[in-house]
Chain A
Amino acid sequence: MPRSVIRMSLGLFLSMLVGCGGASYGGAAAPDMAYGGGAAESAPMAQKAAYAPGADMDYSDGDAGGMLASNGPLPPPAPPVAPTATAAGNTTPAPSTETQRAPMLIYTASMNLAVFQVVEASKQVETMARETGGFLARRDDHSIVIRVPAAKFDDVIKRIEQLGDVLHRNLTAEDVTEQYMDVEVRLKNARAVRDRLQQLLAQATKVEESLEIEKELTRVGTEIEVLEGKLKYLKDRVAYSTITVSFQAKQTDSVKPTVRIPVDWLNQLGLGRLLNL
Chain B
Amino acid sequence: MKKLPAFARLRALLTALAVPAAFVLAGCGAPFKAATPTGFVDLGDKYGDDEYRATTADGLVLGVRAFKNEPKGALDFWVRVVENRMRDTSGYALLDTKEAKDRAGNIGKTLRFGHDESGVPHLYYLTIFVDDEHVFLLEAGGTKDLVEKHEEQIAWSIANFLPS
Contact = CB atoms under 8 A, between A and B. Distances in A.
B100 to A, nearest CB: 17
A155 interface: no
Interface string B132-146: 000001010110100
B88 interface: yes
B149 interface: no
Contacts of A120: 121
Given A249-B90, A258-B84, A265-B65, A271 B95 contact: no
A277 B85 contact: no
A113 B94 CA distance: 11
A4 interface: no
A165 B91 CA distance: 9
A114 B115 CA distance: 8
Contacts of B70: 263
Contacts of A119: 119
A250 B85 CA distance: 11
Interface of B: 43, 46, 53, 55, 59, 61, 63, 65, 67, 70-71, 81-82, 84-95, 113-117, 119, 121-122, 124, 126, 137, 139, 141-142, 144
The 7 A-B pairs at the shortest CB distance, nearest first, are namely A249-B91, A114-B93, A116-B114, A116-B93, A165-B93, A115-B91, A274-B141
26 contacts: A114-B87, A114-B92, A114-B114, A115-B93, A115-B115, A116-B95, A116-B116, A117-B144, A119-B119, A165-B87, A165-B93, A165-B94, A247-B91, A249-B89, A249-B90, A250-B89, A269-B90, A270-B86, A270-B90, A270-B92, A270-B115, A271-B115, A271-B117, A271-B122, A271-B124, A277-B46
